[in-house]
Structure 1
Amino acid sequence: MPSLRRARGAGCHCLGLGRPRRGRVDRGAVRPVGFSLRWQRFLQADRTRGLHRALRADPAGDRSPSRAVRSPRPAARRLPLRNSRQAAGGAALDRHHQDLRQRPARRRPHARRRRPPRIPRSRLQRGDPCADARRQPLERTQRPPQRDGIPPIRPDGPRARYAPMNVVAAFEAEAARRTHQTAIVDGQGRAITFGDLAARCNLLAAAWRARGIGRGDRVLVAMGLGIDLYVAMAAAWRIGAVVVFPEPAMGLAGLRHAARTTMPKAFLAAGFYRLLGIALPELRGLTLKLTPHDRGAGNDEISAVEATDAALISFTSGSTGSPKAIMRSHGFLATQNARVADLVRPTREGEVDLVAFPVFVVANLALGVTSVLPNWNVRKHDGANVASIAAHIRRHGITRVLVPPSICERLANLEAPPPLSTIFTGGGPVFPALLERLALKLPGADVVVVYGSTEAEPIAHLHARDVRDEDRIAMQQGAGLLAGAPISEIHIRLEHDEILVTGEHVNKGYLDPRHDAANKRLIDGAIWHRTGDAGRIDSLGRLWLLGRHEARVGTLYPFPVEVAAMSWPGVRRAALIGVAGCGVLAIEGDGRHRHEWQARADCLGDLVVRQIDAIPLDRRHRSKVDYAMLSKKLK
């Protein structure tokens, strides 16, 4: 029996096509039909189709070379077999085609994916915002592990693999265990259980998925701090979308800045905020408008995303310049929640928290702790009604509070504050006088001061009971502000008195890479974040804050002078600032002690005391001095 290669050659020769051309066949090349092996096989099959039909019709027929096989085609198209060699070749070709029919079907090659437009490297290095926005589709396929500091789970080769996860999975697990426990109570007293919150999240995620929201899509949120906000955030994370949360303290300016910076796909709003989609020019082009009251059908599964997939884009307070966009991944949020949980995890069941910080509400949902939202305007903490806050605490049985120092000031002014087991405060400097007043009014409460920033939260914490008498004396004499011991999961270093931090829960880069050059440092292969705060480490390993590094006046940092001045008689607030090259200590308080203030200021340095009616504070927590506004006010 002739070999298959010989049979192919004989078959082709007997059909008048000639022998196939040897060598590789380039599928992508354009060749004449006669020189393409694929076309030769096609013509072979076409010309022998009649022969095959005849053989199937008469299996026992005579195949001798002397008899021509009758084809069902017209007589003029008959294919005679002239000699035994051609007959043998035709039979071998017939068997070859029969073998091909018995083989499994060959899979068609997948269609080539359309690649995003290439962005010039020069524009990426300059940090062009338009280039960053066009780079958004690349985030689904190109996820550098060093962006959020999440190392690959199995770095097996050039394309590292990541374990699927979702930050909302921890909340779903707690909701299954605590179905009937209250999860969130809003400022008006409306409550929702963990089970109902998970059910609403499921329906909302199904509705948004049906409308085209999927993994990596950015959703700009414009809603008040209420139950609907956290339902919407959990629903967006459930389907893998990215929540864009503008800075609330900036109002409409913050919303417009977020829209320009992130270029979202959809706009999520409730109530009168929905009108902003028409009123603001940055939002008119968004045709996909979502509400927290959308309802879908069916059970929506949690999307398994990678640890480096973006989950949240928030903004800094803008107290030191333009608000910077920070992108947090699912892995980063899970790590941050774990660090916050180490700090706020309750020691007993039944704790109810009054929470003014959204990051702690998210952590409480994963811990299964009930969160009560503020009943005051969070944009004006210093104008909150303290009697209403006390009634809010008693009405809902609140045992712990997580509030900024400005709210702690009002609680300390109450004659009979409600009983509390723990007070967490942060977002601004907490001076020793406030800690003493809280300890006097709430002797059984554990007061915890948390130091951190938007990029790294938390960094250090301090229990008021751990402040020694010598620490209080040192702060009154100009040693700075004690922030406590750094947490074990963070690394701190000082460069020219500036505090630099790194760790798994420290953000490694901003959405706009132009901000990285001024706020990030690459040291020994690790990315360090420049907090902008000056500090020092004492012999016990505790961190002392000296104030903003750029706010130094000569050799004096703000906090050593301000903390000392806060212990003087008649001083409600103090701020050190440079005016025309001179150090000015602005004091808000009783002017009858002005001469004593100047005498004490002379002991700290070459300072001029100026009394002021009100020192401007930051817009977010109303606890930090707004030095830019103060400079304009003094000038």
Structure 2
Amino acid sequence: MNAATLIDQQIQAKNDHPALWLPGSGSCSFGDLDHLARRISAILQKKGLQAGDQVLLFIDLSHLLYGTILALARAGITAVLVEPWMPLERLQHVFNTVKPKAFLAGRLGQLWGLRVPGARKIKHWISTRELLSGTADPIGTQDLPDDHPCIITFTSGTSGKPKGMVRTHGYLRAQHRALNEALHFNQHSGADLCIFANFALANLADGRCSVVIPARAKNDVLSQLDGLPDHLQPVSSTCGPAFLLRVMQRAQLKKLKALHVGGAQTDCAIFERAFALWPEAEVTHVYGSTEAEPVATSDARKAVLWSRERGYFQTLYLGEPWSGLQHQKRDEQLWISGPHVCPEYLTDAEANRLHKHKDETGRLWHRLGDRVEQDERGWWYQGRDHQVAADFADEQRIYSAIGSSMAFIKRHEKGRSVYVEQAAMRLSSIRSVCPDVTEIYETTIRRDRRHQARIDREASLKGAKCIFRG
């Protein structure tokens, strides 16, 4: 079954209900979204695009973006998404992997495409203005097998060539089910404030409105939230810790009943601030990955309490894995399998060798790349599995000593170095909990570009100044 049918059903049932609200674009209903998708479908047909084709999609966050995704999904055309800041040499790998027949882009996207050799070779360049020029004729939704690719995303990561992750129609339907079962998405009738595109799609499939805010939105955008009409006031929010912290500084969200936080390690203090602001809200700590969301969930109040009991500065208790997920340890590494786990990477034998495995029954397993311990309470996050366990434990000690998670440890031939913001005023605290460190550096801690959540360690090394050498 085509994953778009989940949204089609909601369009039939809730035609006049709000589907999306975006800053600068305002609100659109499910009927508006359907009308927009049908206009786009007419242009796709005019260009001769059909099921099985791939298109490179570069449209700013807007109603048009979601209308385009819906139109492509209905037609069985695969949307290819890349990070715009990806280096040119890595983009070349993308275009060696996929061969889009069309490039759908706004003005900024077209300017980006002009500097990318692979994009310049695409046969059809379709502007956003042209996408809107079609007539909203009735259009059918293609019947597709579960393994038909709906969306292919390429992320740059921190090193090496980008991995092509395939989200099939079967995967998207399974993820929708997992989100409803684990996070109770479909039990709320009001709007959801979210920053992740996949959660907005899940909301559409549940007939819920998404208030979609870019993770790096300016503060004045966040300040608009409390002024939204009553029917657009968020009753739930799905976000990462960095975005949550900014929202709490700018908005009250008085109707909030449920909060789902994941995407990165969350300081206990951030959760505690949320508990104080929304004492009656259901707050869930979500553990997942780009390849599988969610993996495990926990009641955030228990997660913080138990993490504090262990002396952790961050919320490291993860809870229990989703019931539809299988998991196992292989060579001390955590592997998962399930219907909402992405299949093998596109044409990347090395990445598949490291992160994918088929057992004797043909079941596909994915290596999460995290160190996770289990006790009678459930799962505990203990760092990436390539990081020395002692370094992760010492980072938590440093965070507690300095009252901030803006630091990390880096190993080198002569020992260990600590990189930290405001290092001079924190020097004695760091040395008291990690007396063996050989160097302490003052630096600016930078976050990942997508969600401003995880520390980008490589970027944070730039401009570092050594203030202690033992």
**Secondary structure of 2:269's aligned partner:** helix
Any residues of structure 2 matched to 1:184-195 within 5 Å, and which? Answer: 184-195=20-31
What amino acid is aligned across from residue 324 of structure 1 in structure 2?
Answer: K
1: distance between equivalents of 2:73 and 2:4?
6
2:445 is the counterpart of 1:615: yes
Distance 1:468 1:355 in 2: 23
Which amino acid letter does the alignment assign opposite residue 579 of structure 1? H
- 1:598 matched to 2:428? The reply is no
Question: Which of 309, 313, 318 in structure 1 is aligned with 2:148?
Answer: 309
* Contact residue 583 and residue 607 of structure 1 kept, 8 A: yes
Flag the 1:521–1:571 CA change in 2: closer, same or farther, 3 A.
Answer: same
Task: Tell me how far 1:184 sits from its aligned partner.
Answer: 0.8
CA distance in 2, matches of 1:227, 1:522: 39
Residue-by-residue CA offset, 1:118-161 (whole Å, 9 max, x unaligned): xxxxxxxxxxxxxxxxxxxxxxxxxxxxxxxxxxxxxxxxxxxx
SS in 1 for 2:292: coil
Aligned residue in 1 for 2:381: 545
| Distance apart, 1:522 and its partner CA | 2.9
Q: 1:153 matched to which residue of 2? A: none
Higher mean alpha-carbon deviation, 167-176 vs 455-464, is at 455-464
Aligned partner letter, 2:329: L
Residue 6 of structure 2 aligns to which amino acid in structure 1?
A: A
Deviation by residue 1:429-449 (Cα, 9 ceiling, x = unmatched): 112222122223332333222
**Equivalent-residue separation in structure 2 for 1:477 and 1:425 (angstroms):** 16
User: Which residue in the other structure is 1:450 paired with?
Assistant: 286
**Alpha-carbon spacing, 1:274–1:470, altered in 2? closer, same or farther (3 Å):** closer
Aligned equivalent of 1:354 = 193
Q: Which residue of 1 aligns with 2:332?
A: 497
Of 260, 277, 284, which aligns to 1:441?
Answer: 277
CA deviation map 1:410-460 (0-9, x unaligned):
23445x733222222222111222212222333233322211111112111
- Provide the residue aligned with 1:159 in structure 2: none
In structure 1, the residue matched to 2:157 is 318
Alignment match, 2:416: 583
Q: Shift of the alpha carbon at 1:345?
A: 3.6
Q: Secondary structure of the equivalent of 1:245?
A: strand
Per the alignment, residue 332 of structure 1 pairs with 171
Partner of 1:567: 400
Letter in 2 for 1:191: S
Shift of 1:557: 4.3
Report the identity percentage.
27
Structure 1 counterpart of 2:390: 556
SS of match in other structure, 2:24 = coil
The letter for the 1-side match of 2:376 is S
Counterparts of residues 54-453 of structure 1 (less than 5 Å):
165-248=1-84, 250=86, 258-290=94-126, 291=128, 292-296=131-135, 298-319=137-158, 321-346=160-185, 350-374=189-213, 376=214, 378=215, 381=216, 384-386=217-219, 388-395=221-228, 396-413=232-249, 417-419=252-254, 420-453=256-289
Distance of 2:306 and 2:108 partners within structure 1: 54
Change (3 A) 1:468 1:198: closer
Once the two structures are overlaid, the 10-residue window that deviates more, 426-435 or 273-282, is 273-282
Q: 1:543 to 1:370 in 2, by over 3 A?
A: same
Q: Is the 8 A contact 1:210 1:296 kept in 2?
A: no
Q: CA RMSD in A?
A: 2.6
Kindly indicate which of the two structures has a greater share of residues assigned to strand: 2
Q: Cα 1:438–1:298, aligned 2, differ >3 Å: closer, same or farther?
A: closer
Alignment partners' CA distance in 2, 1:273 and 1:431: 36
> Following TM superposition, by how much is the alpha carbon of 1:207 offset from its aligned partner in structure 2, in angstroms?
2.6
Q: Which amino acid aligns with 2:162?
A: P
Counterpart of 2:140, as a letter, is: E
Q: Distance in 2 between matches of 1:266 and 1:288?
A: 4
Go from structure 1 to structure 2 and tell me whether the alpha carbon gap of 1:403 and 1:385 turns closer, same or farther (over 3 Å shift).
same
Q: Following the alignment from structure 1 to structure 2, what is the Cα–Cα distance between the partners of residues 315 and 254? A: 10
Matched positions, count: 456
Letter in 2 for 1:617: R
Change in CA separation of 1:186 and 1:388 when aligned onto 2, cut-off 3 Å: closer
Counterpart in the other structure of 1:508: 343
Structure 1 pair 568–443 and aligned structure 2 pair: CA distance change class (3 A): farther
Any gaps of 5 or more consecutive residues in structure 2? none
- Deviation string, structure 1 residues 182-201 (Cα, Å, up to 9, x no partner): 10111114221101211221
- Segment of structure 1 superposing worse, 357-366 or 421-430: 421-430
Contact preservation (8 Å) 1:213, 1:241: yes
Question: SS at 1:628's partner residue?
Answer: helix
Change (3 A) 1:192 1:469: closer
Instruction: Tell me by how many angstroms 1:368 deviates.
Output: 0.4
Q: Write the distance in 2 (CA, Å) between the matches of 1:254 and 1:523.
A: 31
| Alpha-carbon offset, residue 223 of structure 1 | 0.9
State the alpha-carbon separation in 1 of the partners of residues 402 and 152 from structure 2. 44
Which residue in the other structure is 1:30 paired with? none
Structure 2 CA distance for partners of 1:331 and 1:349, relative to 1, 3 Å: closer
Q: Is the 8 A contact 2:306 2:317 kept in 1?
A: no
What residue is the counterpart of 2:373 in the other structure? Answer: 536
Alpha-carbon shift at residue 409 of structure 1 (Å): 2.1
> Displacement of 1:336 after TM fit?
1.5
User: CA–CA distance in 2 between the matches of 1:266 and 1:258?
Assistant: 15
Q: Give the drift of 1:247.
A: 2.4
Query: Which amino acid in structure 1 is aligned with residue 412 of structure 2?
Result: V
Counterpart Cα distance in 2 of 1:293 and 1:385: 28
Q: How far is 1:288 from its partner?
A: 1.4
Question: Hey, what's the Cα distance between the residues in 2 that align with 1:617 and 1:305?
Answer: 39
Residue 322 of structure 2 is matched in structure 1 by 487
Q: Find the structure with the greater CA-based Rg.
A: 1
* Structure 1 residue 271 displacement after superposition: 2.9
Q: What secondary structure is seen at the aligned counterpart in 2 of 1:331?
A: helix
Report the Cα distance in structure 1 between the residues aligned to 2:237 and 2:203, rounded to whole angstroms: 12
Rounded to whole Å, the distance in 2 between the matches of 1:485 and 1:460 is 5
Say which SS state the counterpart of residue 607 (structure 1) adopts.
Answer: coil
Indicate if the aligned counterparts of 1:186 and 1:226 stay in contact, CA closer than 8 A.
yes
Shift in CA distance, 413/212, structure 1 to aligned 2, threshold 3 Å: same
Q: How far 1:609 sits from its partner (Å)?
A: 6.2
CA 1:455–1:477 in 2, change beyond 3 Å: closer, same or farther?
closer
Mapped contact 1:182–1:370 kept (Cα < 8 A): yes
CA contact (8 A) 1:183 1:371 kept: yes
String of CA shifts for 1:489-537, please: whole Å, max 9, x gaps. 1122223432211111112300123221121123343321111111211
Q: CA deviation at 1:246?
A: 1.2
Q: Is the 8 A contact 1:551 1:577 kept in 2?
A: no
Q: CA deviation at 1:608?
A: 4.4
- Structure 1 residue 251: Cα displacement: 8.1
